[in-house]
Each structure stands twice: as structure tokens, then as C-alpha cells.
Amino acid sequence: MALRKNLLLTVVTILSLFAFTALAFAQQQPAPLKVMPLTGSVYWASGGAGSNTGFVVGRNGVVVIDAKMTVDSAKEFLVAIAKVTPKPVTHVILTHSDADHVNGLAGFPAGLTIVATDKCKEEMEESANGPNPRMAAPKDYMPTQLVTKSKNITFDGVHLRLLHFAPAHTSGDLIVYLPDQKIVFTGDIVALQTPYPIIHLEKHGSSEGWITTMKGILALNIDTVVPGHGDVQMGKEVLQKRLADTEERRAKIQELVQQGKSLDEIKAVLGEPTAPAQGGGLRFPTFTEVVYQELTKKS
């Protein structure tokens, strides 16, 4: 009973950390939103509040990939799309449930087809009962078309492969692959603001699943990678290095755990700070902390 109580307390604490961290990000002054062409009718956008986004112009409408974090930023994104094409947005594909990817949906027109994994929808629904209701996903914009496994699909003449390999960043990650253009939108499977992956254990993400997912991405015929955060990457080199570095770091952590070392001892061996940075800033758990918790959790 005590173990279950402690586990519940840990989960609540982590959920609070992520909610307040996301809120802190939302309150920062974002970079100006900028839309850039990739190839053909495919575009990506950086800046504004929230993650990178993308869109594809179809025969009669526009397919958007991720929705920004705030209503204002989503509306700014829609204005930018309207400067590219007069066609309406008809579909939004969500790569996962994090607020910086989905909460901007409230700024989109009603009646859209919103595509996501079933687990992503579950996590969006559960966010209403989270520790910070201000960060809940918009209840009137829940996914309407669910993906439970990888599938080929066509929206308005836009050919896509929607890929779910394993729980990774979250339990409901969805990779958006355009095979004709050799472009992949990874969501936060690739988030370049940190040297190692960000894994949300409270959303049943997995470091092993992240490795499986990255191997799946690297098996695709791709020239262009649009990460959830960071600049577009041409080719696979950055992803290959990130996978190799992550596998090596995870294997080392596992070796040290098997030796009975504590988290602080492991951090010391790896040359990481053993305490959070001073200054009161909120932060995500590090990859080392996540893997240590995965490998030492009690069943």
C-alpha cells in the first residue's frame, strides 16, 4: 500500500512539473512565426507559441500537422497559411498530446477532421483532470479520426503514411511521412533542444520505444526531417547520430544500475550535475533520470 501511495505521489508530482513547465514556455515571448516551403505543396512553420508545425496543400483544402499552443498563435498560423493558399484547412493531424502541439486547436475553425492515435485522444481527455486545468486540451477539439496502428491514408489527394511504432515520447506518438516528397514530420521523437530524447513516463512513454521508433524513422526513404522542435534537417545524419548516442547512453546507464549505483552516482560517472540547476527554473526530467526510473521501478 505504501509503495502504491508513493508511486501515485511521484506521478502527480511529475504531472505537475510538466504542466507548469508547459505553462512557463507558453508565457515566454516566442520567436516570430515563419512559414517556409519544403517541396511541392509542403510547408513547415517555426516560431509562435508552441512546437514546429506543417501543412500540405491538397486539391481542395489544407492538411495541417500539429496546431501550436495558444489560440493567438494558431490564428496567426492560419493567417500565414491563407497567404500561401485560399483553400480552407480541412484536416489537422496531431503527432501527440502535449499542450504545445494541441492546445492551439481552439483557434481553428469548428468541424475539422482531427486525426490522432487513440492513445493521444485518451491523454487529451485526461488532461482535463490534470493538476493545471489551464493546460487542458480543448474539449471541443478532440480527435475525430483515430489511428491505432500504422496505415496509408489519403486526404484530399495528399498521400500520407501515419506511423506508430511503439510508445516513445508518449504512448500515442504519430509519425507523419509523405513518401512522394520524402519528408517526415517526427513530432517530439526528435526535439533538438536537448541532447537526448525527452520521454514522458507519466504518459507511458518509453526509452526502449523511442529507440524502436527512431529505427523505424531511419528505415524510411527520407530526404527531409521536420522535428518537433529545432531546425529542419536534410538527410539522416543527425538522426543516426542521435540514435547511436542514445543507445550508448542507455546501455551505460543500464550497466551502472546493474552495478547497484544510485542515480547521483550514475550522474557523476556520466559527468552530469547531480542536482537541478539553481535559479528556480522548471525543467524536464533528464534522459538519465528517466532511464534510471524505468530500470529501477518496482512492479
- Quick one: 84 exposed, middle or buried, by C-beta within 10 A (0-12, 13-18, 19+)? middle
Residues in the chain: 299
pLDDT confidence of residue 152 = 94
Which helix (H) or strand (E) element contains residue 247? Answer: helix 237-258
What distance in Å separates the CA atoms of residue 114 and residue 141, rounded to the nearest whole number?
8
Residue 4 in this model has a pLDDT that exceeds 50 = no
In contact, 178 and 153? CB cutoff 8 Å: no
Q: What is the DSSP string of 119-131?
A: HHHHHHHHGGGSS
Give the position of cell 549505483.
Answer: 261
**pLDDT attached to residue 298:** 63
For the cut 60, the answer to whether the pLDDT of residue 212 exceeds it is yes
Of all residues in the chain, what percent carry a pLDDT higher than 70? 87
Q: What is the pLDDT of residues 116-175, one digit of tens each?
A: 999 999 999 998 887 777 789 999 999 999 998 899 999 888 999 999 999 999 999 999
- The residue-averaged pLDDT of 38-45 equals 94
- 15 has a pLDDT exceeding 50: no
| Percentage of residues in the chain having pLDDT higher than 90 | 78
pLDDT at res. 61: 96
State yes or no: pLDDT of 281 exceeds 80.
no
The per-residue pLDDT for 288 is: 97
Could you give the dihedral angle defined by the CA atoms of residues 142, 143, 149 and 152, in that order, rounded to the nearest 10 degrees?
-160
pLDDT tens figures, 63-96: 999 999 999 999 999 999 999 999 999 999 999 9
Looking at residues 242-268, what average pLDDT do you find? 97
Nearest 5°: phi and psi at 287?
-60, -40
3-class state of residue 113 by DSSP = strand
Q: What is the pLDDT of residue 1?
A: 43
Quote the pLDDT of residue 12: 35
| pLDDT for 269 | 96
Contact call for residues 241 and 190 (beta carbons, < 8 A): no
Evaluate whether 235 touches 227 at the Cβ level (below 8 Å): no
pLDDT at 16: 38
> What is the per-residue pLDDT for 22?
44
How far apart, in whole angstroms, are the C-alpha atoms of residue 174 and residue 4? 31
Give the pLDDT of residue 54: 98
Question: Which pLDDT band, with edges at 50, 70 and 90, does 185 fall under?
Answer: very high
* Least confident span in 6-15, 103-112, 168-177: 6-15
What per-residue confidence (pLDDT) applies to 284?
77
12-245 adopts what CATH topology? Metallo-beta-lactamase; Chain A (3.60.15)
pLDDT at 260: 96
pTM (two decimals): 0.88
Beta strands in the chain (DSSP E): 34-39, 42-46, 53-57, 62-65, 89-93, 113-117, 145-147, 151-155, 158-163, 175-178, 183-191, 224-229, 233-234
pLDDT over 60 at 289, yes or no: yes
Nine-digit cell string for 97? 498530446
φ and ψ at 53, to 5 degrees? Answer: -135, 175
20 in helix, strand or coil?
Answer: helix
